[in-house]
Amino acid sequence: MAEHYRVREDEIFFILNEELDYGSLCKYKRYEELSPETLDMLVREAIRFAKGVLEPLHHEGERHGVIFENGSVHLTPGFRDAFKKMGENGWIAVSRDTTYGGMGFPQMMRIVINEYLYGSCLCMNFLSSLTHGAGHLIESFADENLKKIFFPNMYSGRWSGTIALTEPNAGSSLANIKTKAKREGNHFKISGIKQFITYAEHDLTENIIHLLLARIEGAPSGTKGISLFIVPKIWVNEDGTLGEPNDIICAGVEKKMGLHAAPTCLMSFGENNQCKAYLCGQENRGLPHMFQMMNEARVNIGVCSMSIASSAYLNALEYCKTRIQGFDIARRYKEEVPIIYHPDIRRMLLWMKAVTEGLRSLIYTTAYYMDIALEDPDESKRRHYKLLLDFLTPIIKGYGADLCFRVCETAIQCLGGYGYCKDYPLEQYMRDSKIFSIFEGTNGIQALDLLGRKMRIDSGKAYRAFFKEIDLFLKENGHNKNFINEIAIFKDAIKELKRTSDIMIERMDVDPLQSASYSFPLLECYGDIVLSWRLLNMAIISDNLLSKMSDRSGRKAYLYKGKIFQARYFIDVFLPQTIARLKSCIRDGREIAEIPDESF
């Protein structure tokens, strides 16, 4: 079972080329030396690299796990070579600036290639993403000298990075951070405990660079007194040479439900008061700095979710096509049939197909917006797409994470008893993906971020930008005669979404308990509706392409037909339920807020 990861290039290139025309990003000055063909080649090479180098490590990592001995963490032997190759071959910093050792591709490409790198070996690519995230923080906020010291080593994979935020009493609420920093000459001394730190200790790289949040002595309390620091495992002198090991101890690793190959560490910094650190960025601006990384990480969780869900669906599909069991319910065939002939199996497959492809379209589209938001010469356009990106991020993270888990569970169901066994990759997918709804801000926090911040900040600019984009879509496509029914349902859903959202925004001021009680169902409704938006868009494009084809029995024709079937199914079957659920978000019943604690 070495090969577990399944990916369909034609599905990917449909979204990239037919739906988004992503090659058009090369018109921006920053990317003018690139061509659409180069982007296509990067995608294909990323898939080849992922399948060739990372995929074999998925099972090897699960088998080997994490070995913790005398404060050291030993990981799957193959990981070391793979991470080195990721760095040397340029996959860690595909979208980073060439000035700093990056490859200079559009931001979107990092998201796109991450689909294949995560899908092939989730645990391995977390190290790459963390290193990228830590490096990007240094690139954005540290002074020039520190950039020169750290980048070449991090982006080339010689050193890895971590993000050290969580403490035993500061998880979802980072305002409670207690780790201290004391100025000492040109640097700081750190003391404190950090928990749940992924890849904080391991034997894969020469050095580990922790990007850590701590409070400088005398800083204000709460979130406004937190600063960001660079804390190397082996001290890095200002001339770039390595010094003594820093005063950092790995006190333990967690035993987890999934992600068995990636260490989740409990770290003690400065037990002997000798843990040295560099300040990264401005004092007391650590949290805003960190949120740059956090927003990227949240979109990345969406990517993990989509990638694993898609592979789970394709694994289930393959099984259902080949597993012969039972007779056709309509007696169309004399012999027993592959289970894909059974209506209930088809129901599950079609749902999985629709949600995974819809999620991919949503994430790639959002990734495309990232580059418009950064590079378009028109300032108002940049602002609009930045707002959209902000607005869609908690939906991608929260809705995507839950969808992934449900797809894995449904894929297992398709396989019956075999799905529950380790002979197939699905049970591991399901265990591994549970964390997606928990880390980088739980899904509950994503819902509050959407309702409490994104829908309300700057007098609701991001919220309005979202509905403006939907209006634009309906203006262009709302009269399409081939999708009258679907467009009508979609319009109803948008109308109800707007009405419900307006009421809940208002309630957040006058009755926050009641409004927040339904923030998560609201996020799910947004998820269903943005997914429908992308599915409908893909279906309309496909319908148009199909109408121009003379032979409608080839692979491409089936690809296009699939887009139409999945959109009709999802919108006709699920959006009416979403509309009903939206109504329930603004009901008057106050059970959630008022049930006494003692009555639980």
Question: Which amino acids are annotated catalytic?
Answer: 440
Q: Which of 30, 80, 85, 561 binds another protein (CB under 8 A)?
A: 85
Residue 44 binds another protein (CB under 8 A) = yes
154 vs 267, which CB is nearer to another protein? Answer: 154
Residue 111 binds another protein (CB under 8 A) = no
Helix (H, G, I), strand (E, B) or coil at 561: helix
Closest separation in Å from C-beta 299 to another protein = 21
Q: Which of 260, 297, 9, 296 is nearest to 121 (CA)?
A: 260
Gyration radius (Cα) of the chain, Å: 25
Dihedral sign from CA coordinates of 71, 77, 79, 80: positive
* Residue 99 contacts residue 93 (beta carbons within 8 Å): no
Closest separation in Å from C-beta 84 to another protein = 12
* Residue 489 contacts residue 575 (beta carbons within 8 Å): yes
Residue 81 binds another protein (CB under 8 A) = no
Contacting range for another protein; rule: CB under 8 A; set: 41-49, 145-153, 188-196, 496-504:
41-49
Closest separation in Å from C-beta 202 to another protein = 23
* Residue 161 contacts residue 208 (beta carbons within 8 Å): yes
3-state SS string over 198-210? ECCCCCCCCEEEE
Angle at 155 between CA 66 and CA 385, to 5 degrees: 105
Residue 406 binds another protein (CB under 8 A) = no
* Residue 580 contacts residue 573 (beta carbons within 8 Å): no
Contacting range for another protein; rule: CB under 8 A; set: 63-71, 102-110, 452-460, 540-548:
102-110
How many CA within 13 A on the CB side of residue 45?
Answer: 12
One-letter amino acid at 102 equals G
Binding to another protein in span 579-598, by CB under 8 A: none
Size of the site for another protein (CB under 8 A): 27
What string of DSSP letters covers 368-411? HHHHHHHH-S-HHHHHHHHHHHHHHHHHHHHHHHHHHHHHHHHH
CA 411 to each of CA 196, 502, 529, 574: distance values in angstroms, whole numbers, following the listed order? 30, 37, 23, 19
Residue 413 binds another protein (CB under 8 A) = no
Residue 3 binds another protein (CB under 8 A) = no
Closest separation in Å from C-beta 9 to another protein = 7
44 vs 479, which CB is nearer to another protein? Answer: 44
Closest separation in Å from C-beta 5 to another protein = 14
What string of DSSP letters covers 227-295? EEEEEESEEE-TTS-EEEEPSEEEEEE---SS-TTS-EEEEEE-TTS--EEEE-SSTT-HHHHHHHHHH
CA 573 to each of CA 400, 437, 535, 581: distance values in angstroms, whole numbers, following the listed order? 19, 25, 13, 14
78 vs 400, which CB is nearer to another protein? Answer: 78
**Angstrom distance (rounded) from CA 359 to CA 336:** 35
Q: Which of 12, 16, 94, 345 binds another protein (CB under 8 A)?
A: 94
86 vs 516, which CB is nearer to another protein? Answer: 86
Residue 10 binds another protein (CB under 8 A) = yes
Contacting range for another protein; rule: CB under 8 A; set: 98-106, 133-141, 161-169, 212-220:
98-106
Residue 84 binds another protein (CB under 8 A) = no
79 vs 436, which CB is nearer to another protein? Answer: 79
Residue 89 binds another protein (CB under 8 A) = yes
259 vs 541, which CB is nearer to another protein? Answer: 541
Binding to another protein in span 317-336, by CB under 8 A: none
Closest separation in Å from C-beta 570 to another protein = 26
Closest separation in Å from C-beta 123 to another protein = 20
DSSP state letter for 451: I
Contacting range for another protein; rule: CB under 8 A; set: 181-189, 264-272, 528-536, 552-560:
552-560
Closest separation in Å from C-beta 122 to another protein = 20
Residue 104 binds another protein (CB under 8 A) = yes
Neighbours of 303 (CB within 10 A): 29
Closest separation in Å from C-beta 156 to another protein = 11
Q: Which of 30, 556, 568, 581 binds another protein (CB under 8 A)?
A: 556
Residue 9 binds another protein (CB under 8 A) = yes
37 vs 143, which CB is nearer to another protein? Answer: 37
Residue 91 binds another protein (CB under 8 A) = yes
Residue 5 binds another protein (CB under 8 A) = no
Neighbours of 318 (CB within 10 A): 12
**Angstrom distance (rounded) from CA 115 to CA 109:** 10
One-letter amino acid at 569 equals Y
525-552 as b/e, with b when 16 or more CB fall inside 10 Å? Answer: bbbbbbbbbbbbbbbbbbbebbeeeeee
CA 141 to each of CA 138, 146, 292, 300, 313: distance values in angstroms, whole numbers, following the listed order? 5, 10, 10, 21, 41
Helix (H, G, I), strand (E, B) or coil at 193: strand
Query: Between 18 and 37, how does the x/- string for binding to another protein read (CB under 8 A)?
Result: ---------------xxx-x
Contacting range for another protein; rule: CB under 8 A; set: 42-50, 146-154, 223-231, 258-266:
42-50
Residue 314 binds another protein (CB under 8 A) = no
Residue 52 binds another protein (CB under 8 A) = yes
**Angstrom distance (rounded) from CA 306 to CA 310:** 6
Closest separation in Å from C-beta 286 to another protein = 32
Q: Using CB under 8 A as the criterion, which residues of the chain lie in contact with another protein when the complex forms?
A: 9-10, 33-35, 37-38, 41-42, 44-45, 48-49, 52-53, 85, 88-91, 94, 103-105, 554-556
